[in-house]
Structure 1
Amino acid sequence: MGSEAIRYLILPGWQGSPEEHWQSHWQRSLPNSARVEQKDWLNPQRGDWVTALNQAVADDPRPLILIAHSLGCVTVAHWAAQAPVELLRRVRGALLVAPADVERPGCPEALQNFAPMPRDLLPFPSLLVGSDNDAAASALRAMELARAWGSEAAILTGAGHINVKSGHRYWEQGFGYLYRLQSRIEQQSRLRA
């Protein structure tokens, strides 16, 4: 991304991202990347998760791109709706992969304190990648969230929850979506210059 030293903040979802998850692979592959660590991956509390993201953004003044999966996407949306403007300005964009619909029927009880789903427009460019067979959010719901958040949307065919269980260990294809997001960010910054 130009001469700017961009850092990547990786936000796993419920239960974290194990070693073989694409987010862990990306963390090892992308320069200047770090994971937002949560105190409790099994019993997520919205306030705690939002606070951890806020602290991770505040700890380093460099511009950043958020890379979120599942409940991490919902955390980003909750954080963006109430974060201080000076921290929001550090975020150049967000890649939101397989967001978890915490309002869906049968949603695990552990995730229900993240409801209601945030509906505020994100104040930075974003790209939402969903799947047409994700049990955590239907393709229609993913499109609704993309519209509410102002995200560009891509719905994959047969990709499940885009995690280890659905065969996405390295998810090299995902780098294409990250590149697409970064290109969009660069275009917007050129238009503002």
Structure 2
Amino acid sequence: MTSPTVLILPGWQGSGPDHWQSRWERRPGHQRVDQHDWMRPLRGDWTARLEDVVSAHPGPVLLAAHSLGCILTAWWAAHTRHADRIAGALLVAPPDIERDDNRQQIPGWAPPARQRLPFPAVLVASSDDPFGSLDSATRLASDWGADLLNLGPKGHINADSGLGDWDEGHDLLLSLAGRA
């Protein structure tokens, strides 16, 4: 079997150099999906960019999404013709995009797509994420048909969470390839 390409999907404002996504990006076979504007994300533009990148890869592809990248993954999956190329998705710290403060900061993304994802997925959440409650993450995991993993108090599961390379998360991502 061909090793899957890992597409890294950062959220709003991108992922800085110490973020686990940026660290993973330096691994062979891993590629960040760059967006036109990290500060003012437009759902349609971000979705079209992901569609372009996935369609350029015959598969298999694993998606490593963080924050708004999770919301993008679900929206894209609801509209693409290329979902069959995805071997699995790791969805980390999805924000509650319907919460007033998040909706104001990132307009145009609510409501999120809530259909079952057509590929295996694990949603990783934190019990003290400032951008989304564990209840919100639990509802999204249920709607998307994703397994839920609660990391406990890890904030937004980003560079500030002290995960370093987060090898456990990477192993979890790679394990999805065997479930497709």
TM-score (norm 2): 0.94
**What is the match of residue 62 of structure 2?**
65
**What is the match of residue 161 of structure 1?**
156
**What is the match of residue 44 of structure 1?**
41
SS where residue 88 of structure 2 aligns?
strand
Indicate how the Cα distance of structure 1 residues 34 and 150 shifts in structure 2: closer, same or farther if over 3 A, else same. Answer: same
**Counterpart-to-counterpart distance in 2, 1:138 and 1:42:** 23
SS where residue 79 of structure 1 aligns?
helix
Q: Please give the per-residue CA displacement for 1:71-124, whole angstroms capped at 9, x wherever unaligned.
A: 00000000001111xx11101110000011110132152313110011111011
User: What pairs up with 1:35-184 in 2 under 5 angstroms?
Assistant: 35-84=32-81, 87-107=82-102, 109-184=104-179
SS where residue 89 of structure 1 aligns?
helix
Given that residues 17 and 24 in structure 1 are in contact (C-alpha distance below 8 angstroms), is that contact kept between their aligned partners in structure 2? Answer: yes
Q: Look up the equivalent residue of 1:53 and give its one-letter code.
A: L
**Counterpart-to-counterpart distance in 2, 1:133 and 1:183:** 31
SS where residue 170 of structure 1 aligns?
coil
**Counterpart-to-counterpart distance in 2, 1:138 and 1:181:** 25
Moved more, 129-138 or 107-116: 107-116
Counting aligned pairs with the same residue, the percent is 45
Q: CA deviation at 1:128?
A: 0.4
**What is the match of residue 21 of structure 1?**
19
Given that residues 92 and 124 in structure 1 are in contact (C-alpha distance below 8 angstroms), is that contact kept between their aligned partners in structure 2? Answer: yes
Moved more, 161-170 or 9-18: 161-170
Moved more, 108-117 or 9-18: 108-117
Q: CA RMSD in A?
A: 1.4
Give ranges in structure 2 of 5+ residues lacking alignment.
Answer: none
SS where residue 178 of structure 1 aligns?
helix
**Counterpart-to-counterpart distance in 1, 2:145 and 2:75:** 14
**Counterpart-to-counterpart distance in 2, 1:26 and 1:66:** 12
**Counterpart-to-counterpart distance in 2, 1:183 and 1:132:** 28
Q: Please give the per-residue CA displacement for 1:147-179, whole angstroms capped at 9, x wherever unaligned.
A: 000001101111110001222332223123224
**Counterpart-to-counterpart distance in 2, 1:96 and 1:8:** 13
Q: Following superposition, which runs of at least 4 residues in structure 1 exceed 6 angstroms of deviation?
A: none
Aligned length: 180
**Counterpart-to-counterpart distance in 2, 1:76 and 1:20:** 23
**Counterpart-to-counterpart distance in 2, 1:139 and 1:180:** 24
